Structure 1
Amino acid sequence: MGLFDFVGNIGKKIFSKEEDASSAVTNHIAEDNPGVENVAVTVENGVASISGVATTAEAVEKAVLMAGNIEGISTVNVDNVEVLQGELAGEEEFYVIQKGDSLWKIAEHKYGNGAKYTAIVAANKEVIKDENKIFPGQKIRLPRNL
């Protein structure tokens, strides 16, 4: 499946020392579990390696974003995740928030209709807790076929 790159020095801070990172990231994903059974994460040198069984490719993508949008994580590896249904999206289905972006502007550019930002929020509910609090460098999923 592969590796996904992130900006490692931004995002939600959930651990201070790398020795606490594996359990902190595992717990973070488990709290809002997007559909990955037996999820476990090991973190080493900024690389979060996720393992488990995902019900869908979308569940894996959400787990990747949950882990990658944490400060201190620069790469997410999903080679040890079994996907029961679907194919993972390519990088073109992800978007990195730029300075000055709003979800409305992103939806307007991607779908031709800014009001479709609500679909972006729904597709990223695990990483966008408040639609007014997105930040440059944050990576999100862009739903297909809207």
Structure 2
Amino acid sequence: MTNRVDQPRPLDLVGNPIHVGGVATGFEATLEYRISDGHQQVTGTFAAGGGTGEHAQFHFTLDVGHTAFQADRLLVQVFEARARDGGEINAVTVPVVYGPHIVPGYYGYREHTVAKGETLSALAKSYYGNAALYPRIVRANPAQITDPDKIVPGQVLRIPIGS
């Protein structure tokens, strides 16, 4: 194992701040991070372990509220800068869904188990008071919903909640 990101997990629905944690090693115990939507990014460094070859847990919290992300999907990346030329090595990339772009004032989500006969429009009407807001549910569940006309009983959907 070189570097591992345990939090967030792939396609987690995250808010601000974003918590990143795992196990890593880097040259002189220094690693770098990048959180990006392909347009805007936040970068920085953090320490893990006592030096090259020593693995240790890491956790950091990153306030991205000031970043003008344009997309719902973000990439959380942790990597080492190669000592001889600064190139990126041992990179780990985790795609996540950014809740504040889906629901104003995002602070979390509810889980809803789909029952027979339910539709995304009906769920949006129930949770948001407006059936036309069903795309919020679709955007929050990219691994669950590939066709908004096809949800099935037993699916557990994340319903993003805001203020």
TM-score, L = length of structure 2: 0.37
Greater percentage in helix: 1
Q: Which has the higher contact order (CA 8 A, sep 6+)?
A: 1
Greater percentage in strand: 2
